[in-house]
Amino acid sequence: MTDFSSSPFESVSGYILKPLNEAMDMTVENLSGAISAPLNLASIIFIFLYGYNVMTGRVALSTHSLLNNVVKIVVVTTMATNADTFNIYVKNIFFNDLANAIGNALNDNKTGSNVFDYILLQASSRYQEVLAKAWFFEKILVGLLGFLMICAVIVFCIGGFIVQMFAQVALVMIIGLGPLFISLYLFNATRKFTDAWITTLVNFTILQVLVIMLGTIMCKIIVHVLGGSYDSIYILFPPVVVISIIGAILFRALPGIASALASGGPYFNAGLSSGGQIISMLSGGAKAGGNAAKSAASKLSGAASVASAAAKAAKTGAQGRGRF
């Protein structure tokens, strides 16, 4: 792979994101059409009755309060019943514009390709350069180490790509139900569901942003390592493999970390429980190591005491034989 004619992550991303966008657009359009008639009717009845009570003095509220409520109703009704308006102010901002803006600010590769394809290209290019400089009989060992290095980079890229797709699929589910939850804002009894939807939307958006941010930071590190000029695979192999393993572990723990940094969200408790399990595992390992060390120390001390007793017995025996 010396150019971007073969871009596996870009191709897979296109296969996934295209049906996701279509499903989200279809869900938003169907929900908007389904709730349009009852929501508009409820809004008209509410405005008429509320305005009539205010004008006749049956409700002690000012005209300013009436206008504020009317504006809220118009905004909520427009956002919930107009799919185009919803896509402009909700879908495009939270699903596309915000993540793309941050990703473009952090990712400065000149090719404009997927960052994981760019990493694979760099790793493959450096491997081919080192392989070309190797001696004839050395090519077997260089090829084996290069294969292991490419496998480590592939595992790293797959881990980051899976986490990125997870965040986008979650946003599709949350945004797709947006018109329904926005319409619930009109009523005091159901307004809490709209607040919960907004909180979840913001948390998953922050999750996607943090995935892009942390993932791009790790990608910058490994691209920086691969960007140097190397004469031997023995110099290139260790840092690439170590960074790839660390990056894969980081990507695996990234949803819990991102949710914790976002100060809540549906996966905050999962992140805390995962962290608690890790701490329990570490403490259990430390206790097991301490017990093993104590056992080894006791065995060593027992062996030392046995050796000391044997030495004393031998000395006593030698003295006894001397008397004879």
Residues 6 or more apart whose CB falls under 8 angstroms from that of 194 comprise 181, 182, 184, 185
- The number of CA neighbours under 13 Å toward the Cβ of 5 is 3
pLDDT at 6: 66
End-to-end Cα distance, the chain: 88
202-219 average pLDDT score: 75
pTM value > 0.85: no
Band the pLDDT of 262: cuts 50, 70, 90.
low
Question: Of 160, 159, 138, 311, which Cα lies nearest the Cα of 233?
Answer: 138
C-alpha angle 151/157/162, rounded to 5°? 125
Band the pLDDT of 245: cuts 50, 70, 90.
confident
Please check whether residue 204 is in contact with residue 167, taking contact to mean a CB–CB distance below 8 angstroms: yes
Region for residue 57 given its phi and psi (left: phi exceeds 0; alpha: psi -120 to 50; beta: otherwise): left
pLDDT at 93: 86
Question: What mean pLDDT value characterizes the chain?
Answer: 73
Instruction: Name the least confident of 24-28, 39-43, 166-170, 219-223.
Output: 219-223
Helix ranges, 56-114 (H): 63-81, 83-86, 98-106
| Percent residues over pLDDT 90 in the chain | 1
In angstroms, the Cα distances linking 193 to 80, 263, 267 are 14, 19, 18
At 140, the amino acid letter reads I
Looking up tokens 């760019």 gives 118
pLDDT at 294: 52
pLDDT at 139 over 60: yes
289-317 average pLDDT score: 48
Q: How far apart are CA 64 and CA 71, in angstroms?
A: 11
Write phi, then psi, for 100 (nearest 5 degrees): -65, -40
- pLDDT tens digits for range 11-25: 888 888 888 888 888
Q: How far apart are CA 275 and CA 250, in angstroms?
A: 13
Residues 6 or more apart whose CB falls under 8 angstroms from that of 266 comprise 200, 203, 259
pLDDT at 323: 40
> Which tokens sit at 190?
């159901």
pLDDT at 318: 42
Instruction: Name the least confident of 118-127, 272-281, 305-314.
Output: 272-281
Q: How far apart are CA 158 and CA 162, in angstroms?
A: 6
- pLDDT tens digits for range 56-89: 777 766 667 778 878 888 888 888 888 888 988 8
Band the pLDDT of 312: cuts 50, 70, 90.
low
